[in-house]
Structure formats: structure tokens, C-alpha cells
Structure 1
Amino acid sequence: MAEAAMAARVPPDEDGDECLPQYRHLLSPDLLAGQVAFITGGGSGIGFRIAELFMRHGCRTVIASRNLQRVSEASKKLVAATGQQCLPLSIDVRQPQTIAAAVDEALQEFKRIDILINGAAGNFLCPASALSFNAFKTVIDIDTMGTFNTSKVLFEKYFRDHGGIIVNITATLSYRGQALQVHAGAAKAAIGGKSAEQSNQFSVIPLQRAGNKTEIAHSALYLASPLSSYVTGTTLVVDGGSWLTSPNSFSALLDVWAAGANQPH
């Protein structure tokens, strides 16, 4: 009975980059009405679901990534599912000039940007011995420098004079802050695949499962909304409690990496 009750509390999700066929509003549908969110990495994964849930709560969005075709296709799906506007743009967060051009286009289209979601990320699950110099540099350039670049451009072009919220999301962390003061901390995502499930990675997580994209998007929705107006300088951990109980099991992580490395691409 307890397991059934717990399962009933897990919000539905979809594999791949598809919108939810049905969505039950747990918060007011107009929670973000009239606002505009600029979402890097919004064409796939967690960023796609964040864009969808924001739009289902009245927000117009800009989704941006290096792959214009991907965000264009994602935009069509998001508009069809939510009825809100979604502007797809091509940027490379490692190149500030492309960010500046995209922000200018977004402001020309919507006249405002209220929320920045730094969702663009590059990650490699592998031991350090298998990580090349260039791969490590790529992660730093996208996750760290890219987050700073996008935040600085938005601050200079809009947030300095109008205010705004920044939520920085990588594969494991997200932060909320006002303008460039990136204060309120992180939603730590417990997102796993079949290889992690098969290697029994979830047995040490108190909730006995991985999180899904919808759960992480709901956390971002909270951080971006007026509900978190007095939240700052703290960390919101969304990982099923694993940070309290889970040891760093390098052998288990190597098993997950090996399973992924041996799969055809």
C-alpha cells in the first residue's frame, strides 16, 4: 500500500523530447502569466520540460542552443501543446557575441525577459583517465563560462535596469538568484537511465528511484515563481534524499559508464 501511494505521487513524464500528453496543474495556471523566460539548452532534456511547464503556467519562452533545427522542432511541439509563444534561437554560450545577438532578438520580439534558465551543459560520465583534455575544457567552457557569459549578457542588456531571476542548471545543480547575484541554490537532480537502474544505483536512495524531468522542472518552476520570493542563499536539493545516504561508489559509477560506453551510438 505504501509503495502504491508513493508511486501515485510521482508526476508523469515522457521519454525523449516530447510534451506531456496530459498535465495536471498543481499550481495556478497563470503563475507566470505575462512573463518571458530565456532558456539555454531548452530544446532537449530537462530544459525542454522546464520550457513546457513554464509555458503551461502562462510564460512565453525563448529556447536557445547551438542546434537551430532542434530548438525549432522543439518550439513547434511546445506551442502545439501549450498554446503559448516560443521563439527558437541559435546560440553558443561559449561565444558572448552570439548570446548578445539572441538576447537582442528576444527583446525585439517580446520587449522583456524576466527569467533566465542556464540549462546548456556538456557532460561526460567516465573516469578521469578516459576524459581527454579537450573534453574537460568543453565541460568547463559550457557549464561554467557559458553560465557566466549568458548571465552577464542578460544583466547588461536587461536585468540591471529591470531586475530578473537567474536559475543555473547543470546535470546536477541549479541555483536561483536576482540579477547577477546567483543566490538561491540548487535543485540537485537524480536523473538516471536503464544502466543505472540495472546496476542497482537506486537502492541507496531513500525514495528508491531516480527523479524524472517533470520533477526537476517543477523545482525550477518554484524557483522562478513568486512562491520563492524570499528564498536566497540556500540549496534546494532534489535527489530523493540520496545526498543524505549515498556514498560515492566509484565502482558503481564505472559500471554505469561501461554500460553506456558499450552501447552502439
Structure 2
Amino acid sequence: MENIKVKESEAQTRQPGDQFKMNPEPLTIRKNYRGSNKLTGKVAFVTGGDSGIGKSAAIHFAREGANVAIVYLNEDKDAEATENEIKAEGVKCLLLKGDIKDEEFCKRAINKTIAHFGKLNILVNNAAMQFPTEAIENITSENLHKTFVTNIYAYFYIAKAAISHLQKGDTIINTTSVTAYRGSEHLIDYASTKGAIVSFTRSLSKSLAPKNIRVNAVAPGPIWTPLIPATFSGDDLENFGKDVPLGRPGQPSEVGPAYVFLASEDSSYMTGQVIHINGGEIIGG
């Protein structure tokens, strides 16, 4: 993908954005990706699973044989499209519409998943918000609160609700970001939540290690998802992702397989770790 251009009629004005409006639309899974039953019989729960990275993880899980529950805010068209793609893989899908900033909704979503599928094996905390600003003085209290409650409080809400249902060999995967490691001058609050997710992952992994429940994370760099045209415009959108060594933004299809790896026995000796998928940017940790 060399250039990103959003038509005027497709401009996005609210988060987390609609994938069906994007031009070009993100690639969710490679045509030549072949499942090998790595997750057959498993049940996965993915927040922000209607689009972007969350959708890619969900579709990859489905191709590997897992049934999937996806949580989304209000993007019905994207969610229904994802549901159809998951079912096309020969597995089941449960749509859970609601706001993860609400702890009671998070509890209900987990309980509905258990009631529908009878179990839960893979928990993916992924949904996020961001409000770019050029200076800390411009970060409003309202946006600061939304960013933290969505990006890290909800991870606590969902993990707390899910823990009692997870068994030996089950997994939790959190989506952090390259910004947690290198910072971001125009996403100070967002980067701060992503740093918190790294610490959350490491701390929860130690807490759950005695139960053999593994907790890891993925730290994407610039990936072409609905959150991008919903938060950037003009030159920022046109040049998105061009400053990494590979010279382009990544596709969700290039991130999804990492979630399969962390959810499957392939990563059975990994916990508390972060996989970096960022186009070649060298960062610590």
C-alpha cells in the first residue's frame, strides 16, 4: 500500500471508525493463509473485534477452528460483515454490542459468552481510542478520561470478569503499541495508556503463572485500521506509516497471525512478553 487517500464523502468524524468506509479498505487475512486447526474447540473473546486488528485476530482464530465472540461499540455494519466472515470459516460467532467503559457491560459480555459457548479460552483486550493533540495543555479532561477508561480500565474490567472462567493452558493477549516504548509527542495520553498495558501484561502474567494461564501482548506500529482516518486527516493521513524502515503502514493481516501464535501451544513457553510488529522500528523491551 503506497498511498492512503480518503475521499471527502468517506471522511470519518467519530471513533472508533467504520472499516467499510475506508479507501482502501484494510486487508484482514492473506488469501494464502492456511489454518492448521491450532485452535479447534477453543472459544475466543475479542474487544474491538468488528474491524482492524481485532477483526484480523478474530478471523485468524476462526480459520484455526475457534468460535469467536466479538465486542464492538456501535459499528453494526462492520460487525455483521465480520460475523459473516467468521461463520464462513465453519465456526460460530457471537456479537456483543456495548461500551467497554461500562464495567457492568464488560461483566455481562463475559457472562453471555460463557452462556452461549459454555467456556472461554482466549481473551483479547484490543479496543482503544486516541485523541491527537500537539501539546499536553490541549488534552481535555474529558478526552483524558475516555482514553484511560477505554484503553486500560476496560482491560481490568474484562480480565477481572474472565479470570474465574479460564483454565490451565488458556491465554490472555493484550494490544499495546510501539508508542509505549518510544513515546509520542502528539499522543501523550494514548501512549501513557499503552505503557500501562505493558506493565499490566507483565504483572498479570506473574499473577496467573501458577495457574498456567499465559498473558502476553502485541505492540503494533502504524497499522491501517479505522482508528486512523477517524483521528487523522490531511498530510498526517497521507503520510501515515511512511517514516518506518519498511516505508509503509502495515495491514491488519500482517498482525493477526501473532495473535494466533500467542493463543496457541506454539507459544507455550512464553508469558509476560510483547511481540513487536512495527515495520522495522528498533525499540527497547
Q: Please tell me the TM-score bracket, short chain as reference.
A: 0.7 to 0.9
Give the letter aligned to residue 225 of structure 1.
S
1:232 — aligned with what? Answer: 271
Letter in structure 1 aligned against 2:25: G
**Structure 2 alignment gaps of length 5 or more:** 1-22, 179-193, 209-213, 229-233
Q: Kindly tell me the number of residue pairs found equivalent between the two proteins.
A: 227
Determine the structure 1 residue equivalent to 2:218.
186
User: Structure 1 residues 143 and 78, CA, compared in 2 at 3 Å: closer, same or farther?
Assistant: same
Q: Which residue in the other structure is 1:202 paired with?
A: 242
Cα gap change, 1:236/1:76 in structure 2, threshold over 3 Å: closer, same or farther?
A: closer
Instruction: Show the counterpart of 2:170.
Output: 164
Question: Which of 131, 143, 150 lines up with 1:124 in the alignment?
Answer: 131
1:211-241 CA distances to partner (integer Å, 9 max, x unpaired)?
A: 2111111112211111111112333211122
2:105 aligns to what SS in structure 1? Answer: helix
Note the residue ranges of structure 1 that are not aligned, 5 or more in a row. Answer: 1-13, 246-265
Deviation at 1:171, TM superposition (A): 5.3
What TM-score does the superposition give when structure 1 sets the normalisation length?
0.73
**Alpha-carbon offset, residue 81 of structure 1:** 3.7
Q: Which has the higher contact order (CA 8 A, sep 6+)?
A: 2
Matches of 1:55 and 1:140, distance apart in 2? 30
Report if aligned partners of 2:174, 2:216 keep a CA contact under 8 Å in 1. no
Counterpart residue number, 1:16: 25
1:187 is displaced (CA, Å) by 2.8
Q: SS of 1:187's equivalent?
A: strand
What is residue 243 of structure 1 aligned with on the other side? 282
Instruction: Select the structure of larger CA radius of gyration.
Output: 1
Q: TM-score, normalised by structure 2?
A: 0.69
Is the 2:215–2:271 contact (alpha carbons within 8 Å) kept by the matching residues of 1?
Answer: yes
Asked if 2 retains the 8 angstrom alpha-carbon contact of 1:206 and 1:242, the reply is: yes
The alignment's C-alpha RMSD in Å is: 3.0
Distance 1:91 1:68 in 2: 10
